[in-house]
Structure 1
Amino acid sequence: MDPGSIAFGVIATALVLVMTPGVAFFYGGLVRARSVISMMMLSFATLGIVSVLWILYGYAMSSVGSELGFAGNPFSDFALSSTVASDTANVDLVGVAYGATFAIITVALISGAIADRARFGPWIVFVIAFATLGYFPIAAWVWGGGWVEALGGWLGAPGVIDYAGGLAVHTNAGAAALALAIVLGPRLGFAKGSHRPHNVPFVVLGAAILWFGWFGFNVGAEWTNEMEGAGLIVINTLGCTAAAICGWLVIEKVKGGKPSAVGAASGAIAGLVAITPACANLTPGWALLLGVVTGAICCWAIELKYLFRLDDSLDVVGIHLVGGLIGTIYVGFFAIDTGLFTGGGFGQVAVQVIASAGVFAYSFCLAYVLGKTIDKTIGFRVDDASELAGVDVTLHGEIAYELSDARSDGAGSP
């Protein structure tokens, strides 16, 4: 492979990696001031843990030897011992690093459903277990030769389209977030308007970082494909996201009369989520429609948590699960040449729906069992007093904003 392509692979990896700090800012701004450090720590700890797991055995698990395999043998390339020794190691290791960034952000996204009330240690246990049993196998199903990738051939239909993670990332993370929100229950005093974002600029900054990094997320895989589809992916990533902002703000105006900065940022994330599986398989016009539809639907969807008293704190379900499912199924209708309304038949719709249902069911059940087991053994949720005091101090011994010039030892600053 030529040096330019390898260089782009490294750049794409860096772009996707910075998305996890983007999530930390986005989530951190949405919580209370006394929970922002805890919220950011959930993302940064995930970055550290999942990176190590991916290098040790996650990459080996992310491809299967047979279509019905659960995952690859975790010891077949332990600590990348075989990959490093191969003749193509220079290129392969860039691909390994790129894949790691997807694993990291998938697990980090889940944390938004348990904001303000999750203990740090149990979260670490969940991250290890869910990455191992959740993300690594699902990545193998979708991209590593597993049943999702083989589904079209079994049914005599086109293959499942999930270019950059509508299934493996967003449906997966959203289903797990739903399960954990159920396990931990609502925050104290949970009601509409009771937990307002403490730092709206953080939210907008986080969304901007995510949008920036998302070009690596969606376009990055093209570094192994001579960049043949890069132009279409770039314009769809831009257009769908922009249209989703418009769709969200219109519905927000209809619902409450005041379009908000948090709404614009959330609409952008919804559009990015929706275009992720479909970015290489839609013409720009259909991508714009997808954005408008997703922004509008997700804006309505986030309100359902109050109806069902499901405290999905930072709308992981309403944005990532709903947006991921919309984008994954939408491409079944409008994919270039194979969509139901673009020259194909019902087969593309069928495989998209079946794959979505399978990934959702597995991720939800796994996360629920893991969350419930952790909660019943070591306890997942902080006590009421710690939640009221703020988990930054009780769990990490830090505060986000030092507003006094006095040091903790009583001495004044110089």
Structure 2
Amino acid sequence: MTLAAAHANTGDTAWLLAATALVLLMTPGLALFYGGMVRTKSVLNMLMMSFVSIALVTVVWLAAGYSLAFGDDVAGGLIGGLDHAGMAGLGPDSVQGTVPTLLFATFQLTFAIITAALISGAIADRAKFGAWLVFVPVWALLVYVPVAHWVWGPGGWILDRLGALDFAGGLPVEITSGASGLALCLVLGPRLGFKKDAMRPHNLPMVMLGAGLLWFGWFGFNAGSALGANGLAAAAFLNTLTAGCTGLLGWLFVEQKRDGHPTTLGAASGAVAGLVAITPSCGSVSLLGALVVGLAAGVVCSYAVGWKFKLNYDDSLDVVGVHLVGGVIGTLLIGVFAVDGMTGGAQGLLYGGGLAQLGRQLVAVAVVAAYAFTVTFGIGKLLDRVIGLRADEDHEHTGLDLTVHAETAYDHGVLGHGAPVSAHSLLSAQKVKPQE
């Protein structure tokens, strides 16, 4: 990375400041989205898994993550160096392109945060909170940081050598979180009552609010990745809106045809599926391509979320079915719909580019998914052996809100003479000790 002795462009800087705030808002939005999808007994735990990821990833990113991901390559396209560990050498006058380097680093930090938080949806209701506190920083350094360097870092092998395209994070964010979520839910095993008990979302208005905040923040995620207030940002912005809409419609069409009822959960999930898929391709495809990418994701992901019941893996909140599958769809379809007016050269199959770009996209998808799954599975197994990943059975049965946080999201009644239920009284009554 070259630090130029130049002034940042004020317009680009203003836009990236706003985009960074939008992306950070996505993690609280995700917390609400996931929180509404779980049962009442684990709502707060779900919210906490997202919020604590903000703090954990920030510390790791500032200490070493940014330097390893975006520092000058030191290992044949695999990882950056530690020249900027602790943000060394990155003062307020340092510039990355047309924006301050510190702002660029913060923008990229928000991507790392939400990627880690996404994984929590795959293991909802049954993971030890203490183990999550250890998993997140280890995973960020061993999985997210290397993949971010491969795709976006100077000298990264996917960017510079393979030539695969990923505008805003299909590989480092969506596929990495989805493959990692699959690995971790296999390590943990299914929830108590999986495929037997009804595990319906407890608060669909909360789910819809979370989806709305995610959609709002996604404009910063995708259009902000242009790193400037320019035409490319405008095109990515419109493509993001378009794909979210067709994803929503595609999912509802499948629900109506298959189940006879279009649902609010389906609308929220379809919009997210479309947004996931357009993330890698929003800066590469035309408006027509965005329409198809979103629609394909809405339709395919609506079926993919049911695979867990057939294959017997308990992906609690459909991280695999939406983020892994949607990320694969969006990344591969770059090889079909990429237009040189957006990419500056590369073209997809339908625009005269042949199979070459599609092949590059396929290689990138396969390697990133395999790497994320394998390393995460190894981290999960190690942590499970050392400190244990799975919550105790009685804690899981009672609910992690009470047993871990000694709180409840809702007042379910009273004890005695009108006294409100307290967490400690409920714990005592159920003879369950808080999880350490």
Instruction: Tell me if both proteins adopt one fold, taking TM over 0.5 as the criterion.
Output: yes
1:73 CA drift (Å) = 2.4
Per the alignment, residue 212 of structure 2 pairs with 208
Task: Measure the CA separation in 2 of the matches of 1:18 and 1:340.
Answer: 36
Matched, 1:341 2:341: no
Contact 1:34 1:392 in 2 (8 A): yes
Please give the alpha-carbon distance, in whole angstroms, between the structure 2 residues aligned to 1:87 and 1:216: 23
**1:7-406 alignment, distance < 5 Å:** 7-63=14-70, 64-65=72-73, 68-74=76-82, 76-84=83-91, 87-88=94-95, 91-144=100-153, 145-152=155-162, 159-191=163-195, 194-224=198-228, 226-337=229-340, 338-403=347-412, 404=414, 406=419
- Structure 2: unaligned runs, 5 residues or longer: 1-7, 341-346, 426-436
**DSSP-derived class of the 2:194 partner:** coil
Q: Is the 8 A contact 1:218 1:279 kept in 2?
A: yes
Runs of 4+ in 1 over 4 A off after TM superposition: 407-410
Deviations for 1:310-353, whole angstroms, at most 9, x for unmatched residues? 10000000000000000000110110041011121211001100
Higher mean C-alpha deviation, range 392-401 or range 192-201: 192-201
Identity %: 47
TM superposition score normalised by structure 2: 0.89
Tell me, in whole angstroms, the C-alpha distance in 1 between the residues paired with 2:161 and 2:333: 18
The Cα of 1:87 is off from its aligned counterpart by 4.3
Aligned to 1:155: none
Letter in 1 for 2:227: W
Q: CA deviation at 1:285?
A: 1.3
Distance 1:184 1:327 in 2: 29
The change in CA–CA distance for 1:288 and 1:379 in structure 2 (over 3 A counts) is same
Tell me how far apart the structure 1 counterparts of residues 164 and 196 of structure 2 sit (CA, whole Å): 38
- Partners of 2:282 and 2:197 in 1: CA distance: 35
Question: Within 2, Cα distance between the matches of 1:73 and 1:86?
Answer: 21
Supply the AA of the counterpart residue of 1:309.
N
The superposition leaves residues 276-319 of structure 1 with CA deviations (integer Å, 9 ceiling, x where unpaired) of 00001111112111111110100000011000111000000000
Q: 1: CA distance between counterparts of 2:146 and 2:336?
A: 27
Find the aligned partners of 1:312 and 1:131 in 2 and give their Cα distance: 20
CA contact (8 A) 1:67 1:150 kept: no
* 2:243 aligned partner, one-letter code: C
Q: Which amino acid aligns with 1:329?
A: L
Give the Cα separation in 2 of the matches to 1:323 and 1:37. Answer: 27
**Backbone CA RMSD of aligned residues:** 1.7
CA distance in 2, matches of 1:8, 1:53: 26
Provide the C-alpha distance between the structure 1 equivalents of 2:16 and 2:196, rounded to a whole number of angstroms. 43
Partner amino acid for 2:375?
Answer: L
> 1:67·1:147 contact (CA, 8 Å) conserved in 2?
no
The CA deviation string for residues 5-36 of structure 1, in whole angstroms up to 9 with x for no partner, is: 21111100000000000110000000000100
How far 1:235 moved relative to its partner? 1.2
AA partner of residue 105 (structure 1): I
Quickly say closer, same or farther: Cα 1:149–1:18, change in 2 above 3 A.
same
C-alpha distance in 1, partners of 2:254/2:94?
A: 54
Note the alpha carbon deviations across 1:68-95, whole angstroms, 9 max, x for none: 2431223x21211211275449811111
Question: TM-score, structure 1 length as denominator?
Answer: 0.94
Amino acid at match of 1:349: L
Worse-superposed segment, 239-248 or 57-66 = 57-66
Query: Contact 1:67/1:146 (CA < 8 Å) preserved in 2?
Result: no
Q: Could you list the per-position Cα deviations for residues 260-287 of structure 1 after superposition, in whole angstroms to 9, with x for gaps in the alignment?
A: 0001000000000000000011111121
Task: Please give the alpha-carbon distance, in whole angstroms, between the structure 2 residues aligned to 1:327 and 1:35.
Answer: 32
Q: How many residues align?
A: 402
SS at match of 1:83: coil
- Find the residue that maps to 2:171 and give its secondary structure: helix
User: Is the contact between residue 192 and residue 306 of structure 1 (CA under 8 Å) also seen in structure 2?
Assistant: no
* Conserved? CA contact 1:172–1:359, under 8 Å: yes
> CA–CA distance in 2 between the matches of 1:241 and 1:4?
27
Structure 1 position 384, deviation (Å): 1.1
- Residue 433 of structure 2 corresponds to none
- Once residues 181 and 376 of structure 2 are traced to their aligned partners in structure 1, the CA distance between those partners, rounded to angstroms, is 8
Greater CA drift, 33-42 or 187-196: 187-196
Q: Judge conservation of contact 2:38–2:202 (CA < 8 Å) in 1.
A: yes
Q: One-letter code of the match for 1:126? A: F
Q: Letter of the 2:16 partner, please give it.
A: G
